[in-house]
Structure 1
Amino acid sequence: MNKLSGKTALVTGSSRGIGRAMALGLAREGALVAVHYGHDEQAAKETVALIEKDGGQAFPVGAQLGTPGAIDQLFAGLEAGLREHTGHTVLDILVNNAAATTTGGTPEEIPAEQLDQIFEVNAKAPFLIVQRALDLIPDGGRIVNISSAVTRKAIPTQVVYAMSKGAIDQLTLHFARHLADRRITVNSVLPGATDNGSAVFQIPEVRESMSQISAFKRLGEPEEVADVVVFLATEQARWITGASLDATGGSLLG
């Protein structure tokens, strides 16, 4: 416990699901967490309340990524919250988790507008967030980008999502080299089929089918992915950078 005492963190897309678990995990280790949300302010406040009930500290920050002015809005709220809670705007840990998903369909059916939307949120926004955050992140800071197992498997109906998450892997690789002189580690985490609370996971047939993907024949839990993120944020992970950590429960073993 308290491996992150005195640290500050931003987790994008942390109002629910895996992002919420990441925010809770970082807070349990002592970090002050900025809980970002795009649409659901109430869900973000629930995440903050859960953290505070657990004895931690957090505050919500709203910005709909992929829309004009969103990055400015995000950082205005982040810096204001950091000043209020700490008196400064230092950001020790950045977790790029927020993402838009595709609605399915074959590659031939995907409209150009959907391609633009997915890349705006999943690729462009994380780049701009890292770029902007570098003025706040001190030497020795941590950046964790959430990629996906679909970057390692061929799933034609998920091609656009997979392409956007492949960009996250490249973001990780190149910024890891670029920031090494500052001892800022940059890594990505690849979740697999994880019960993030979505309605689809309440359908027995879907749960059974997706459980078979993992070597353990079950769905992952949000906390199991969050634990990997928390580890990468700690001092124990200081010698890991530019890595893509498989958090799929063995889904990529074949």
Structure 2
Amino acid sequence: MRRSSVRKDRKELGGKRALVVGGSGGIGRGVSLMLAEEGASLVVHGGHDEARLEETRALCARTAEEVDGFLCPFDQGDVFLKEVASRLPFDIVVWCAGPVEYVGLGEASLEVWERMARGNLVLPGAVVGMVAGLMAERGHGRIVLFGGPGSDALRGYTSIAPYAAAKAGLGVLAKSVAVAYGSSNVACNVICPGIVFTEYTSREERERWREVPEARIASAEEVVDLVRYLVKMPTPLVNGAVISADKGLRL
């Protein structure tokens, strides 16, 4: 992945280095563009689509101090962690990725459980453990993780139990960071979005949700604005929080 560096007028996040996991599309692309607009130097991760990653990198390069990127699926966990480690340190980490598989509890194989745990808890935990201590040494760090719909509380599910169980663990991870490193100006929080339309949302899915009277649909921009607040907090006032960002949706 080519690295771009352009001299910009110093902005609020100028001088900060940010990693966006799952940053090439969907909400993640919005987060990458926001951080670039705020002046951060970026490392953007993509899972499979090199063209999408390059497009996002090029868009971010218009405003970011520096943009780097790498492509790596989560089934190559060791490679992924080496890519992250080679780019340390970071001031900001936003984990937007989260693979989901729809399968009944009784039909979920060991492989499904392992995939859901790896992408939604194991690798986020490993990366947070890698960066949080370094952030504390530097006296500043902001980490934002994305939970699943409804994962702000313990609930039962008929078709996404492996995914939801892994996402629920992110709350423990965030609270652990707050306890261990909050006094060193490091904050870690979890956002649990509800229904958010992105370029990944099919027309059929959009139409189906619009027919549900209880559905309260958020824009990706609204979620990105919440991320903006959490990464720009001057002090770790909000720390270890699991934030419901679903407009009160309960289905």
Question: Same fold per TM (> 0.5)?
Answer: yes
Which residue pairs with 1:7 in the alignment?
16
Which residue pairs with 1:82 in the alignment?
none
Q: Which amino acid aligns with 1:205?
A: E
What is the aligned counterpart of 2:34 among 14, 25, 37? 25
Q: How has the CA–CA distance of structure 1 residues 181 and 110 changed in structure 2, closer, same or farther, with 3 Å as cutoff?
A: same
Q: Are 1:131 and 2:121 an aligned pair?
A: no
TM-superposed CA distance for 1:212, in Å, is 3.3
What is the aligned counterpart of 2:83 among 59, 62, 74? 74
Which residue pairs with 1:250 in the alignment?
248
Which residue pairs with 1:100 in the alignment?
99
CA distance in 2, matches of 1:210, 1:22: 28
| Structure richer in helix, relative to its length | 1
Q: Deviations over 1:5-55 (max 9, x none)?
A: 221100101110011111111111111111111211211111111112356
CA distance in 2, matches of 1:53, 1:121: 30
Q: Which amino acid aligns with 1:177?
A: V
- Note if contact 1:150-1:158 (Cα within 8 Å) is conserved in structure 2: no
What is the aligned counterpart of 1:212 among 211, 214, 231? 214
What is the aligned counterpart of 2:160 among 158, 161, 165? 158
Q: Which amino acid aligns with 1:26?
A: L
| Structure richer in strand, relative to its length | 2
What is the aligned counterpart of 2:198 among 189, 196, 199? 196
Which residue pairs with 1:41 in the alignment?
50
CA distance in 2, matches of 1:199, 1:235: 31
Which residue pairs with 1:86 in the alignment?
none
**Which sections of structure 2, spanning at least 5 residues, go unmatched?**
1-9
Q: Which amino acid aligns with 1:235?
A: M
- Note if contact 1:200-1:206 (Cα within 8 Å) is conserved in structure 2: no
TM-score by length of 2: 0.85
- Note if contact 2:209-2:215 (Cα within 8 Å) is conserved in structure 1: no
- Note if contact 1:193-1:211 (Cα within 8 Å) is conserved in structure 2: no
**Which sections of structure 1, spanning at least 5 residues, go unmatched?**
80-88
Q: Are 1:146 and 2:155 an aligned pair?
A: no
Q: Give the paired residue count.
A: 238
1:108-119 aligned at under 5 Å gives the runs 108-119=106-117
Structure 1, 54-63 or 224-233: larger mean CA deviation? 54-63
Percent of counterpart pairs with the same letter? 26
Superposed structure 1 runs of 4+ greater than 6 Å apart: none
